[in-house]
Amino acid sequence: MSSSTALVIMDMQQGNFDERFPIVASDQLLLVTKMMIQKARDADIPIIYVLNDGGPGAIDESGESGWEIHADIRPEPKDILVEKKTPDAFHETKLKEILDKMRIKKLVLVGLQTEFCVDTTCRRGSILGYKIQLVKDGHGTWNSDSLSAEQIITHHNTVLAGWFVELVSSTDFEFESTT
C-alpha cells in the first residue's frame, strides 16, 4: 500500500446511535459511511477509526459496549484505531505519528459530531498541513436547542469550506487507486 490518502472515520460508535437519542438521519449517515469504506477498500486506501472516550459513566466510555464501533461499519484487522479524549483527534493521540509514518498527506473525513469533533479535527488537520476532504453528506449530529441538525451541518460545511477543507460528495467521490 503506497497511498498518500487515508479515510478517517470519526466517533461512529455504538453509543452515538442509542435509540433513546439517535443521531438525526443516522441510517443515511451509516449508509454513506459504509459506501466510503467500500470505496476506500476497493482502492486499497488505509482506514483509520477514531474513537472518543467520554470517560467514566459516559455512553462512549472506553471498554464499554457504547464505545465499540457501530456494528454496521466494524473495522477489519488491518484498519487502524485511534482513541481520543477531546474533540481534536490530534490532541494527545498517536494520529499524527501514524499519518506521518504512513506518509499520509490527505485525509477524507466522515463521522460525528459535526460541530465538535468533525469541526475541530478538520481545522487542526488543516493547520498541521494535511489536505482535508470533508464528505459533506457524511457527517452528522443531533438537533440542538437553537438549531436543527441539518442547519448545523449546512453551517459547518459553509464555514469549513475553502479555508480548512475541500467539500466532496459521497456519491461523486472516488479514491485514486494505489494498485
What distance in Å separates the CA atoms of residue 8 and residue 98, rounded to the nearest whole number? 12
Supply the mean pLDDT for the chain.
95
Cell triple for 154: 449546512
The answer on pLDDT for 177 being more than 80 is no
80 — phi, psi (to 5°)?
-105, 135
**Strand partners for 139:** 111
Q: Which of 30, 112, 110 is CA-nearest to residue 74? A: 30
Task: Convert the pLDDT of each residue in 91-142 to its tens digit.
Answer: 999 999 999 999 999 999 999 999 999 999 999 999 999 999 999 999 999 9
What distance in Å separates the CA atoms of residue 9 and residue 72, rounded to the nearest whole number? 13
Rounded mean pLDDT, 27-56: 97
Express as a percent the part of the chain with pLDDT over 90: 93
How confident is the model at residue 1, as a pLDDT? 45
* pTM higher than 0.85: yes
Q: Provide the CA 97 distance to its chain's centre, in angstroms.
A: 18
How confident is the model at residue 20, as a pLDDT? 85
Say which residues have a Cβ less than 8 Å from residue 20's Cβ, sequence separation at least 6: none
82 — phi, psi (to 5°)?
-125, 125
Domains along the chain? 5-168 (3.40.50.850)
